[in-house]
Amino acid sequence: MKEKHVIKKFPKSRYGTIDLGKISRKKHNIAALLEIDVTDAWLKIEKLKKKKMQISFTSWFIYCIADSLKNHKEVCGYLYKKNSRIIFDTISISLMVEKNISGTKVPLPLLIQNADSKTAIEICKEIQNGKNSEVKSSNDYVINNKLSGFLTNLYFNLPGFLRIFSMNCLLNNPFQSKKVMGNVLFTSLGSAALMPGWIIPKTYHNLSFALGSVTMKPWVAKKQIKPRQIAHLTIIANHDVADGAPIARFASDLICKLEKANGL
């Protein structure tokens, strides 16, 4: 006698996640696992929220990433042909936003274009608008991006090998890839991170950030051990695009901005 069970179909947007996961295995990525004292920023954001200002820890974090990349754009460049790379002037950051579609929560990408020219408050408003925007189906694969509904629907209905082929064609075109997916990825566990630790995602971007938990930990601050809010951040970079030294300089600049609560 069969045990009682339920079979639930994946939303079609899940195919894109699976395909990109397969493609990401070919990248020569390096990962840095960082602990960052964000206590000052945490307290300032809480004060701003009490003043009814529309800002979030996530939007501020994205702001700091984009602001730091202004002087280190080569680390989020794209490979071009065999011996070149394209370094774009602007930073577009993709992040996942959970939408309710037909009673099912579906994560869909939201693209923050020109993030390096926006404040944390502007980024927060854009994220909220993305969360509140109407999505008729999971075929609307990228929120706030003018993709053809016909083309996305066609993609989701292709056999797996043709989806991989078409996705590779997109990713091998730096201009189209940045337009659709941005040149930086940001993902976060948010409130789901109940234990201290990092997340190491599969990524198809040449530069990605994964924010794990933010937890209270004992920390040395001003030569004293104090309880501090510590963020667990993973940076994943494509070693084919940038060497270790430029990535390290960028990471150092980012950590400095985060610990000093830059932009708040």
Locate the domains of the chain by residue range: 13-259
Name the 3-class secondary structure at 19: helix
Query: Comparing 60 with 152, which gets the higher pLDDT?
Result: 60
| Range list of β-strands (E), 117-198 | 184-188
* Strongest mean pLDDT among 147-156, 195-204, 224-233: 224-233
pLDDT at 147 over 60: no
List, as own/partner pairs, every contact residues 153-161 make where C-beta atoms lie below 8 angstroms and the sequence separation is at least 24, other chains included: 155/15, 155/16, 156/12, 156/13, 156/15, 156/16, 157/12, 160/15, 160/19
Q: What is the pLDDT of residues 204-213, one digit of tens each?
A: 889 999 999 8
Q: Give the count of beta carbons closer than 10 Å to the beta carbon of residue 159.
A: 8
Average pLDDT estimate for 154-173:
75
Lowest mean pLDDT among 134-138, 141-145, 187-191: 141-145
pLDDT at 165: 77
Q: What is the pLDDT of residues 99-113, one digit of tens each?
A: 766 666 667 788 999
pLDDT at 230: 94
| Entry pTM | 0.84
Average pLDDT, the chain: 84
pLDDT at 31: 92
Q: Give the count of beta carbons closer than 10 Å to the beta carbon of residue 174.
A: 18
pLDDT at 144 over 60: no
Place of tokens 């280190």: 72
**CATH number belonging to the domain at 13-259, selected among 3.30.559.10, 3.40.30.10, 1.20.990.10, 3.30.43.10:** 3.30.559.10
pLDDT at 191: 54
Query: Comparing 160 with 209, which gets the higher pLDDT?
Result: 209
Name the 3-class secondary structure at 74: helix
